[in-house]
Structure 1
């Protein structure tokens, strides 16, 4: 394994750990000696990685580190291009623009031959039906999910009956034709799924819901029997 690949692997391992992890654990996972691990950590720090900790205490990678130029396999590039193209065509305007920016930023640091793979990828996203939900609603819901805040909605069921709900949004599912919110519903006292195109009115609240979203999402996965992503 090249040193560059080893450094990249170390970054990836640190990214998977949200709390400080012992050097011995890192070294064992990477298959290197402790001395090599400590040397690699100092190298990454010198390159700008926000790694905190020390020998005997453990290490944690703080957010914000910009990876150096990356090497991807052909399949990895195709996955990036296909996923980004799907988001740019199927998500709201802001998220679509972000997907295009991601490809541009990755392309800017790739060698010329790999950069051409992005520009000439033969994996395309076919035309789909227009999504009824507007950009503003989807963007507001995404913001509520990120900030763990309640939203108030007027929601029409399958028969057209409208009810006022206060929900705690924890996730959004993107299907080809509809977008669905996964949320805790205060009216029902349980998790419910709401089609965004059936929301007649939406008011984003400044009130945070009282539970952590990550905990609720894990509970929802367990109840539904859905494997965690």
Structure 2
């Protein structure tokens, strides 16, 4: 790898992480010595790049700095195109349209030599045979998630039982055939998943939920992890 390319890759590693990245981590990814990483960091700092940190603790890229736009590698372009093709086929209507628009915008400013790797990428997302149609506008639910607002929904479960609930939506899981709203349910006082094809109506409330969405997501993930780690008691019977 040329030194200029390696310096850009160091910046990309730092930009990818929110927390300090150790020199050892960067050296392993770049397949160079730790001494080389320290020398590259020092070179970038000398050039005015706001990198904070020190050896043995880690480094972070300061706010207000960014690399020139669209400096994609071929692998990055293929990854972008694969992701956008997946969203086009699996996302809700608005996300699918946004994915197609994103392809057009990226392609319009890419150098000519890179455009084939975007538009002609040989990575395919097969069509889905069956798909549960959303009963509501998922874009509205995504808006509620971004604004951390409570939502009142009318919902029917797999047994066709209907309930009205107030939920704190924190995320959407996009599966092959369905989409699930991840939320804290005030009725059950627990995290629940609500399929968008079973929500017949919803109203976004003025009230914001009392916890930060990031904290709620972590609680939900911790619960899932704990559930997965439970031993199978049948093994011991």
TM over 0.5: yes
How big is the shift at 1:156? Answer: 0.7
**Which of 14, 17, 29 is matched with 2:26 structurally?**
29
Which range moved further: 85-94 or 3-12? 3-12
Distance 1:43 1:102 in 2: 33
How big is the shift at 1:5? Answer: 2.3
| 1:79 alignment partner, SS class | helix
Alignment of 1:62-77 (within 5 A): 62=63, 65=66, 67-74=68-75, 76-77=76-77
Compute the TM-score of the two structures, normalised by the length of structure 1. 0.76
The change in CA–CA distance for 1:28 and 1:42 in structure 2 (over 3 A counts) is farther
How big is the shift at 1:40? Answer: 1.5
Query: What RMSD in Å do the two structures reach over aligned CA positions?
Result: 3.3
| 2:137 alignment partner, SS class | helix
Q: Alignment length, in residue pairs?
A: 217
Which one has the largest radius of gyration?
2
Distance 1:154 1:85 in 2: 32
| 1:125 alignment partner, SS class | coil
Runs of 5+ unmatched residues, structure 2? 28-33, 229-237
How big is the shift at 1:107? Answer: 3.2
| 1:165 alignment partner, SS class | strand
Distance 2:102 2:48 in 1: 23
* Matched-pair contact (CA < 8 Å) for 1:13–1:26: no
Distance 1:64 1:159 in 2: 53
Distance 1:185 1:91 in 2: 24
Alignment of 1:131-170 (within 5 A): 131-133=132-134, 137-170=137-170
* Matched-pair contact (CA < 8 Å) for 1:137–1:202: no
How big is the shift at 1:116? Answer: 0.8
How big is the shift at 1:174? Answer: 1.0
Distance 1:130 1:28 in 2: 42
Name the counterpart of 1:40: 44
The change in CA–CA distance for 1:13 and 1:202 in structure 2 (over 3 A counts) is same
Alignment of 1:203-214 (within 5 A): 203-214=203-214
* Matched-pair contact (CA < 8 Å) for 1:70–1:109: no
| 1:112 alignment partner, SS class | coil
* Matched-pair contact (CA < 8 Å) for 1:153–1:199: yes
How big is the shift at 1:55? Answer: 8.5
Runs of 5+ unmatched residues, structure 1? 46-50
Distance 1:90 1:33 in 2: 40
Distance 1:79 1:33 in 2: 26
Compute the TM-score of the two structures, normalised by the length of structure 2. 0.74
The change in CA–CA distance for 1:139 and 1:28 in structure 2 (over 3 A counts) is closer
Distance 1:131 1:44 in 2: 52
How big is the shift at 1:222? Answer: 2.1
